[in-house]
């Protein structure tokens, strides 16, 4: 076995034994439908597949076993602004006028969200259906 200060489970050449601990690997099964408390873990400014500006938000799911995450995309064009408005309203951000902000300030903020299951490419996946203020 090759000793490595970062990972003692790397086998040496010709050593067929692995020593892996999967106890901290989160479930890949979809969450049950329901309302969950989420913390914004990451916000990325990017473009959608059609070239429109978009925010990609990664959420940590609180109060569930394991380290579970959800993701949602917020396309920043007029017909889709209702979705980011729903998020901002739930976060207590005033949307009655123009909002200017550094979106990284959203990291660490919490919301509640209705999570549903739907089929995507033959797999059952979770989707954020609605965002509510955190209790």
Q: Per the domain annotation, does 4 fall within a domain? A: no
Q: Per the domain annotation, does 27 fall within a domain? A: no
Instruction: Name the helix (H) or strand (E) containing 73.
Output: strand 69-75
Q: Per the domain annotation, does 18 fall within a domain? A: no
How many CA atoms are closer than 13 Å to the CA of 62, on its beta-carbon side? 13
Q: Per the domain annotation, does 11 fall within a domain? A: no
**Number of structural domains found in the chain:** 1
| Structural domain span for residue 105 | 34-133
What is the separation of C-alpha 113 from the centre of its chain, rounded to a whole number of angstroms? Answer: 12
Which is it for the CA torsion 111, 117, 119, 125, positive or negative?
Answer: positive
Q: Per the domain annotation, does 125 fall within a domain? A: yes
**11, 17 Cβ separation under 8 angstroms:** yes
Q: Give pLDDT tens digits for 28-67.
A: 789 999 999 999 999 999 999 999 999 999 999 999 987 8
- The CATH number that applies at residue 48 is 2.40.50
pTM: 0.79
């Amino acid at each position: 076995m090759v000793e490595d200060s970062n990972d003692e489970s790397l086998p040496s050449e010709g050593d067929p034994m692995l020593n892996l601990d999967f106890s901290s690997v989160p479930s890949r099964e979809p969450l049950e439908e329901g309302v969950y408390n989420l913390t914004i873990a990451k916000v990325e400014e990017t473009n959608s597949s059609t070239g429109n500006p978009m925010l990609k938000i990664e959420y940590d799911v609180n109060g569930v076993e394991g380290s579970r995450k959800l993701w949602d995309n917020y396309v920043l064009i007029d017909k889709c602004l209702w979705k980011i408005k729903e998020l901002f309203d739930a976060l207590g951000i005033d949307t009655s006028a123009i909002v200017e902000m550094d979106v990284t300030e959203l990291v660490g903020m919490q919301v509640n969200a209705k999570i549903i299951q739907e089929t995507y490419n033959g797999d059952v996946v979770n989707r954020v259906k609605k965002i509510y203020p955190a209790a």
